[in-house]
Amino acid sequence: MKNIRVRFAPSPTGPLHIGGVRTALYNYLFAKKNGGTFILRIEDTDQGRYVPGAEEYIIESLKWCGLLPDEGAGFGDGEFAPYRQSERKPLYQQYAQLLIEREQAYYAFDTPEELESRRQAEAASGNHNFKYDSLTRSGMKNSLSLPADEVKRRLEAGEEYVIRLKVPENETIIVNDLIRGEVSFQANELDDKVLLKTDSMPTYHLANIVDDHLMKITHVIRGEEWLPSTGHHVLLYRAFGWEASMPEFAHLPLILKPDGKGKLSKRDGARFGMPVFPLGWNGQTPQERFDGFREFGFLPEAVLNFLAFLGWNPGTEQEIFSLDELAAAFSIEKISKSSARFDFDKAKWYNQQYLHATSGEALAEMVRPLLEQKGYEVSSSYLAAVCDLVKDRITVLPDFINQAYYFFEDVKLYDNPNIAKRWKPESRQTFEALAANFEKAANFDASSLEGILKQFIADHQLKMGEVMPLLRLALAGSMQGPAVFEIITVLGRERSINRLHQAFDYFDSVVK
């Protein structure tokens, strides 16, 4: 296979949608699978929609996810720099003029007011889909309809103009999409797209094709929403004489809302109570402020694993993949044509699997900021031990505080119904004796303490079910949690014994 070069080319118009992350992921995987190059290009030609901070957000998101481009904005210049389209403006003007010279494009002097007037006139006559195309261009103000001296006069006078693509008539444009197979476009249904705007900035269509050609992009892997533009793009490659080196196209399936009703949007996060961005975004209004997967407590590896399966499947039973394993298994042929539903429960399942597989030491570093927010100060070794105990019970990182708070402070809330059901006034003497046996244990570890309990139960003719639930309630306040003796071991001798005595006092108050 030729030297593979792919690009992720987002526009800095706000926070990066999770669908954009999936596009970046598939480009990254394809490049790594084939020993190719993954590029980040910032398509910021639409200055009216530019949002300050959005480019930095895109770069930070890719870094958080571990999808590091080989070259591109924020990641080091290669031989095709610069990678921001706003810095390549003279280049696009040069290529737009080349199309004029080849009679593949033309100047159009129609003002926005004139275009709107024409649209309204067409709508009044029943045509609500007016297009500037091969049928209507002759009746508009452009270098195809005006005399040459008139065009020259307008240009020399500095009149504003746009440059439009001259779409040919009566042609069928055929594209072999790597995911969808053969896709055809009828030229007569395509409008004469604006290539260069009045401010001399290129539109997406011109900049995209020029940059992909000059940067030697071999495969364009992008969202399904760009499929209707592909006919124009093929025409542009032909107009420049670049069709022989035109990249191959692969248009990814849509990501649907959790209920399957329409494309997942930026606003669906608030509606469904879930993240739809990789990182948090602090917009100017409350409606424009979002938490991302990172703030929800997801690991980036889990997010990538989840996203990989939104439209792709390796064809095996394996579901958990490292990024390297995804790259090894990835192929465009295994991407589905069908839209994929955004299943947030599945995303949480992935995160749970990754948290379970994380070492206590590594998890401790992840949750320490959460502890510091609560004012908890503990040693790294103690925190790692707690993490090892509770990691199988958490789905996202913030769950850790709820599941493990009693390792860092006294029990705040007891399960009173279970206490009332199990504790009797006469229980106090028995459990005080058990606590005393624990306190005198030569070795304060789970195995030794369990042996002490079993002997105590045998000596006092008790049942395990009469003792263990109350010990759990005393230590954690709940019937849920890690094994009792593991809790005791981590808490340590002094804290465990003190907590038992405090709990017995509380239990007495419940059953009075």
Residue 321 C-alpha from the chain's centroid? 17
Look up residue 9 and give its amino acid.
Answer: A
In the chain, DSSP finds a helix count (H) and a strand count (E) of 21, 14
Q: Are strands 71-72 and 255-256 parallel, antiparallel or unpaired?
A: unpaired
For each of the domains in the chain, give its residue range(s) and CATH number, in order of start.
5-71+205-256 (3.40.50.620), 268-351 (1.10.1160.10), 358-407 (1.10.8.70), 416-511 (1.10.10.350)
Residue 38 has φ and ψ, to the nearest 5°, of -110, 125
Q: Contact at 8 Å (CB) between 463 and 454? A: no
Residues in the chain: 512
Residue 92 C-alpha from the chain's centroid? 31
Residue 231 C-alpha from the chain's centroid? 29
Residue holding tokens 């533009």? 229
Q: Is 261 a catalytic residue?
A: no
Q: Contact at 8 Å (CB) between 255 and 18? A: yes
Look up residue 23 and give its amino acid.
Answer: T
Q: What sign results for the dihedral spanned by CA atoms 47, 53, 55, 61?
A: negative
Listed residue (242, 158, 224, 231) closest to 192, CA to CA: 231
Which residue is catalytic, options 266, 374, 424, 454? 266
The predicted pLDDT at position 286 comes to: 77
The Cα-based distances of 355 to 62, 197, 367 in angstroms read: 21, 50, 11
Look up residue 285 and give its amino acid.
Answer: T
Q: What is the chain's pLDDT, residue by residue, as a tens digit (512 residues)?
A: 579 999 999 999 999 999 999 999 999 999 999 999 999 999 998 888 899 999 999 999 999 999 999 999 999 888 899 999 999 999 999 999 999 999 999 999 999 999 999 999 999 999 999 999 999 999 999 999 999 999 999 999 999 999 999 999 999 999 999 999 999 999 999 999 999 999 999 999 999 999 999 999 999 999 999 999 999 999 999 999 999 999 999 999 999 999 999 999 988 998 899 999 999 999 878 778 899 999 999 999 999 999 999 999 999 999 999 999 999 999 999 999 999 999 999 999 999 999 999 999 999 999 999 999 999 999 999 999 999 999 999 999 999 999 999 999 999 999 999 999 999 989 999 999 999 999 999 999 999 999 999 999 999 999 999 999 999 999 999 999 999 999 999 999 999 999 999 999 999 999 88
Spell out where 68-168 has E strands. 71-72, 105-108, 162-165
- Give the contacts of 509 (CB within 8 A, at least 6 positions apart): none
Residue holding tokens 């649209």? 119
User: Using CA atoms, how far apart are residues 29 and 56, in angstroms rounded to an integer?
Assistant: 23
Helices marked H in 36-111: 54-65, 89-101
User: Using CA atoms, how far apart are residues 87 and 80, in angstroms rounded to an integer?
Assistant: 12
Q: What share of the chain is helix, strand, coil (3-state, %, to 5)?
A: 50, 10, 35
As beta bridge partners, residue 158 has none
The predicted pLDDT at position 267 comes to: 87
How many other CB atoms are found less than 10 A from the CB of residue 148? 8
As beta bridge partners, residue 137 has none
Q: Contact at 8 Å (CB) between 221 and 332? A: yes
Please confirm whether the linkage preceding 82 is cis (ω < 30° from 0): yes
User: Using CA atoms, how far apart are residues 9 and 16, in angstroms rounded to an integer?
Assistant: 11
